[in-house]
């Protein structure tokens, strides 16, 4: 017996729209089962996980803080994936963006100027873009697979950051803690509202999402992205260059990941330390797909995934389950999104080896 | 064999009410078919008529949704190609399944019992190929063989199973006229031995020449069963198409104008190991002229199109001139801006993106040539969907593109309708130069005649048209001059009236002037 996927003649529009919601519902069901197996009351656990964080103003601020990098990175990745370039290394570009963006406050802690913050953001974007330029160069020059190169560069970036903050950049007055001096106040990304911690990164995320949505929807560039993503040959016929698209999409997603990195360090942390991300760069891949690679959809999916981080922290505190559970949720979600999408396009057929009789009609 | 021997003998293969559904779409519905022992039976039909689906059910690749297959009078279930072979059915597919890096004998061995030794296979294949007039060297590497020779491997492979019925799917579509003649001799030998042949084709002349009976399919249904020798090509075409096909008209000579596209001594090295290199190609097409470039598939047609279109610019700027301007280094959009239009061979994924609507596919070819009409806001290049949609409507009307809905996905159109749109997309611009690769490949007869007429009319209106085609009927219908491409070399262009089919056939086989026919031309690529 074997299982075959058979392409459906018609793809249901209704289910294509429902697919992400369906995936969410399935994730909740399986999450409940997991909590039950862990010996917790599943309903209570789900409530703590997914509802409680939405009831307080301060935790809504936290939600925005966590969603901002996810959306920023996610929309960049969406353009990348749409163009059939598979940047898996946003986590590394995030890290490098955080490092290059922090050069000014770390090396010139006494420079007090309103210019410093814009410069930091720009340097963060440039750093992320340049780091994403490495797999782009390797792909265009040597036809290297960008999935592997961008992923491997993540670990290089993380180890480089670790080395920096334990060595060169360590705060001499920091009691040997592996971290830099706290940034001067001009170098800190300000809060949006006085009611909580949420800072401008969330605004950047929304602007980036809307801008890229506009590009994909109305501009020739967006058309170019879709054409080259679906058929390089047709793109060539249109006069578009697949090679330039590799550069465009990698640099764009790298720059946005770098912006997310420096915003996180400057707005949420206030200094550089060995760990600056709970895996935003990887989670953003889920965000991009859950948002159906549509920048507006990614705003919503970024908030959902941010909730899994927040819920994980809350559940750890109040019912004592490991915050690794949030990783499980994210994995479940990606699994269900991809399988829902697959089942929309294909049906499953069981084939019992060669014994199926032919139906006979008179 | 004639129609009269009906109920007396038991048919070798009988099909009753055979139906195949894909979702709600019936690719084959209630097909009846009888094949007598020792007859060559034609299965006629246009692309998409359901021929391949029917044959796949007979060979066990697909399972019928309903209906019955009788073999020697008793009902059978053909669950797999292996079972079909055991029954005595052999199949030669249109697209060969051969490994280029292996030898002929190794390729044959792959489909046989692994316990049989390679030397035995070589011997048997050699003797079979001799007996049936299919010259073949078992030790030759497939990569070095011509398409005709590759087909022989497939036939010998089928014959090794000693089949009673051999199914051939469009066998002559890749052959020169001379190679086709040789194939027919083999088929007559098989018939004389009492084997049956199911011969799938849409070429009416050859069906009339070699087949004893014909079953005609249209839209998945049997629309006729006849003795093709008693029919005319026109009456067969009517059964296939369901209506009379408009004849293409080319009345009166068009006065020739200036040279619009000129290629001088163009050589392009092969980009990949499987590509053909172009060697010293020269040609000149004037306004009002249709130059047809004939040739067997894989002799450099695709590479020539790439060079002419500028999708892959060439090293020598002067080698290609469009309306007097050297464009060898210019990309496809630069050439479009000079007034050239291009129609590639492959519709899906080259000329059009199947998953995009027609309007997007219009923008695909014309984003730069019609920048003013289709884009706004300068550098930001905002797409003007309304303007593009109305242009799409205009093109669909002009070319009679039948579609469902206002702006359907390109992939949802039939091959013929999509091709009409793709050709219409260029004609709509009134290009001064049009380069078309295989304009009617896999297109129904109605659409094909419409497209050919449009190409003739374009030339008459004062444009230069280059048509690369494998279809000799098409070439004679529309060309004013004919050149032949073979192994990446292009012959001189001759006025269409001065060339015979035989002469072109020889040139396609690589014989340019007065040389003799080589036994095998070794540089074709499939």
Q: What is the pLDDT of residues B447-478, one digit of tens each?
A: 888 999 999 999 999 999 999 998 888 888 89
Residue contact A236–B311, C-beta within 8 A: yes
Give a yes or no: residue A268 inside a domain: yes
Choose between A106 and B236: higher pLDDT.
Answer: A106
Residue contact A238–B64, C-beta within 8 A: no
Choose between B311 and A315: higher pLDDT.
Answer: B311
Note the maximum CA span of chain A: 92
Contacts of B79 in chain A (CB under 8 A): 354-356
Of A9, A221, A358, Cβ closest to residue B22: A9
Give a yes or no: residue A359 inside a domain: no
Residue contact B75–A238, C-beta within 8 A: no
Show the domain range for A271. Answer: 2-351
pLDDT score at B522: 40
CA distance B190 to B159: 10
Mean pLDDT, to the nearest integer, of B192-218?
Answer: 87
| Class of domain B259-508 (CATH, top level) | alpha beta
Give a yes or no: residue A227 inside a domain: yes
Dump pLDDT digits (tens) for B32-84: 999 999 999 999 877 667 888 898 899 988 888 889 999 998 899 888 888 89
Give a yes or no: residue A50 inside a domain: yes
B13-241 fold: Rossmann fold (3.40.50)
Lowest mean pLDDT among A168-177, A287-296, B449-458: A168-177
* pLDDT of B252 above 70: no
Lowest mean pLDDT among A42-46, A168-172, B498-502: B498-502
Report the Cα B391 to chain-centroid distance in Å. 30
Using CA coordinates, name the residue in chain B closest to A230: B353
Task: Give the CATH number of the domain where residue A289 resides.
Answer: 1.10.3470
Residue contact B67–A360, C-beta within 8 A: yes
* pLDDT of B8 above 70: no
Question: What dihedral do alpha carbons B366, B370, B372, B378 form, nearest 10°?
Answer: 30
* pLDDT band with cut points at 50, 70 and 90 for residue A361: very low
Calculate what percentage of chain B has a pLDDT beyond 90: 41
Q: Which of residues 79-98 of B touch A (CB under 8 A)?
A: 79-80, 83
pTM, 2 dp:
0.78
pLDDT score at B245: 64
Mean pLDDT, to the nearest integer, of A152-169?
Answer: 95
Give a yes or no: residue A52 inside a domain: yes
pLDDT score at A320: 84
pLDDT score at B4: 44
Question: Is the separation of the CB atoms in B159 and B128 below 8 Å?
Answer: yes
Contacts of A354 in chain B (CB under 8 A): 79-80, 83
Of A9, A226, A237, Cβ closest to residue B24: A9
Contacts of A355 in chain B (CB under 8 A): 79
Mean pLDDT, to the nearest integer, of B190-212?
Answer: 87
The tokens describing B426, both together, are: 């260029």
Contacts of B25 in chain A (CB under 8 A): 9
Residue contact B383–A360, C-beta within 8 A: no
Is the ipTM, as predicted for this complex, more than 0.90? no
Give a yes or no: residue A360 inside a domain: no
Of B67, B69, B350, Cβ closest to residue A234: B350
Report the interhelical angle of A220-230 vs A201-218 (nearest 10°): 80
- Answer yes or no: same fold for B13-241 and B259-508: yes
* pLDDT of A92 above 80: yes
Give a yes or no: residue A358 inside a domain: no
Top mean-pLDDT range of A39-48, A243-252, B110-119, B408-417: A243-252
Cβ neighbours for B435, distance < 8 A, ≥ 6 positions apart: B261, B305, B308, B309, B340, B341, B342, B343, B466, B468
Mutating which of A212, A213, A220, A242 best tests the B interface, going by the most B Cβ atoms within 10 A?
A220
Number of domains comprising chain A: 1
* Half-sphere exposure for B300 (CA within 13 Å, toward CB): 27
Using a 10 angstrom Cβ sphere, with 0-12 exposed, 13-18 middle and 19 or more buried, the burial of residue B253 is exposed
Give a yes or no: residue A356 inside a domain: no
* pLDDT band with cut points at 50, 70 and 90 for residue B526: very low
A134 Cα to chain B: minimum distance (Å): 26
């Amino acid at each position: 017996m074997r299982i075959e996927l058979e392409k459906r003649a018609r793809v249901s529009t209704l289910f294509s729209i429902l697919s992400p919601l369906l995936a969410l519902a399935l994730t909740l069901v399986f999450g409940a089962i997991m909590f039950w197996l862990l010996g917790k009351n599943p309903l209570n656990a789900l409530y703590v996980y997914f509802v409680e964080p939405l009831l307080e103003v301060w935790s809504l601020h936290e939600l925005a803080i966590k969603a901002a990098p996810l959306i920023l990175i996610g929309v960049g990745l969406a353009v990348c994936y749409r163009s059939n370039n598979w940047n898996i290394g946003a986590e590394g570009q995030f890290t490098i963006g955080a490092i290059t963006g922090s050069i000014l406050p770390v090396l010139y802690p006494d420079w007090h100027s309103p210019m410093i913050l814009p410069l930091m953001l720009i340097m963060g974007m440039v750093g992320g873009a340049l780091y994403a330029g490495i797999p782009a160069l390797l792909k265009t020059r040597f036809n290297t697979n960008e999935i592997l190169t961008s992923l491997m560069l993540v670990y290089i970036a993380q180890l480089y950051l670790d080395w920096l903050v334990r060595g060169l950049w360590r705060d001499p007055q920091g009691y040997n803690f592996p971290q830099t001096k706290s940034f001067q106040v001009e170098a800190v990304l300000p809060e949006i509202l006085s009611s909580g911690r949420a800072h401008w990164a969330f605004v950047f995320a929304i602007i980036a999402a809307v801008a890229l949505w506009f590009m994909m929807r109305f501009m020739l560039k967006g058309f170019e992205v879709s054409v080259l993503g679906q058929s390089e040959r047709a793109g060539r016929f249109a006069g578009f260059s697949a090679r330039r698209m590799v550069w465009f999409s990698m640099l764009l997603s790298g720059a946005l990941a770098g912006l997310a990195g420096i915003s996180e360090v400057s707005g949420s942390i206030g200094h550089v330390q060995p760990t600056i991300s709970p895996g935003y760069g990887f989670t953003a891949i889920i965000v991009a797909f859950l948002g159906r690679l549509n920048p507006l959809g990614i705003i919503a999916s970024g908030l959902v995934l941010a909730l899994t981080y927040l819920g994980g922290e809350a559940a750890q505190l109040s019912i004592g389950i490991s915050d690794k559970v949030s990783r499980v949720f994210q994995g479940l979600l990606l699994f269900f999104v991809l399988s829902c999408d697959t089942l929309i396009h294909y049906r499953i057929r069981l084939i019992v080896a060669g014994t199926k009789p032919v139906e006979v009609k008179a | 064999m004639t129609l009269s021997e009906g109920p007396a003998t038991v048919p070798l293969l009988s099909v009753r009410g055979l139906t195949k559904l894909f979702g709600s779409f019936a690719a084959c519905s209630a097909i009846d078919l009888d094949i007598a022992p020792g007859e060559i039976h034609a299965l006629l039909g246009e692309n998409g008529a359901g021929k391949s689906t029917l044959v796949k059910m007979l060979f066990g690749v697909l399972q019928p949704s309903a209906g019955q297959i009788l073999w020697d009078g008793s009902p059978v279930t053909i669950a797999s190609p292996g079972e079909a072979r055991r029954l005595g059915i052999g199949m030669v597919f249109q697209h060969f399944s051969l490994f280029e890096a292996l030898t002929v004998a190794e390729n044959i061995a792959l489909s046989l019992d692994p316990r049989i030794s390679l030397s035995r296979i070589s011997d048997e294949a050699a003797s079979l190929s001799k007996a049936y007039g299919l010259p073949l060297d078992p030790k030759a590497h497939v990569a070095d063989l011509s398409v005709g020779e590759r087909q022989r491997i497939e036939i010998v492979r089928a014959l090794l199973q000693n089949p009673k019925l051999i199914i051939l799917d469009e066998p002559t579509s890749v052959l020169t006229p001379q190679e086709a003649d040789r194939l027919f001799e083999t088929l007559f030998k098989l018939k004389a031995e009492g084997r049956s042949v199911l011969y799938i084709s849409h070429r009416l002349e050859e069906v009339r020449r070699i087949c004893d009976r014909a079953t005609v399919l249209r839209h998945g249904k049997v629309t006729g069963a006849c003795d093709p020798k008693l029919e005319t090509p026109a009456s067969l075409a009517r059964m296939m198409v369901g209506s009379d096909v408009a004849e293409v008209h080319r009345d009166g000579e068009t006065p020739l104008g200036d040279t619009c596209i000129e290629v001088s001594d163009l050589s392009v090295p092969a980009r990949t190991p499987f590509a053909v290199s172009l060697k010293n190609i020269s040609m000149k097409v004037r306004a009002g002229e249709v130059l047809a470039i004939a040739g067997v598939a894989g002799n450099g047609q695709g590479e020539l199109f790439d060079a002419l279109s500028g999708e892959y610019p060439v090293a020598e700027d002067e080698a290609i001139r469009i309306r007097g301007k050297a464009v060898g280094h210019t990309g496809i959009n630069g050439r479009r801006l000079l007034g050239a239009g291009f129609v590639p061979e492959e519709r899906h994924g080259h000329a059009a993106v199947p998953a995009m609507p027609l309007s997007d596919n219009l923008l695909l070819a014309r984003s730069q040539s019609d920048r003013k009409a289709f884009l706004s806001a300068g550098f930001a290049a905002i797409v003007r969907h309304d303007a593009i949609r109305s242009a799409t409507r205009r093109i669909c009307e002009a070319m009679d593109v039948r579609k469902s809905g206002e702006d359907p996905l390109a992939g949802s159109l039939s091959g013929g309708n999509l091709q009409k749109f793709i050709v219409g997309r260029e004609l709509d611009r009134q290009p001064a130069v049009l380069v078309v690769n295989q304009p009617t490949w896999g297109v129904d007869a109605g659409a094909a005649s419409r497209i050919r007429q449009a190409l003739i009319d374009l030339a008459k209106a004062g444009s230069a048209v280059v048509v690369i085609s494998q279809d000799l009927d098409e070439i004679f219908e529309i060309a004013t001059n004919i050149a032949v491409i073979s192994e990446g070399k292009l012959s001189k262009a001759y006025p269409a009236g001065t060339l015979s089919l035989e002469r072109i056939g020889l040139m396609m086989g690589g014989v340019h002037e007065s040389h003799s026919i080589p036994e095998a031309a070794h540089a074709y690529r499939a």
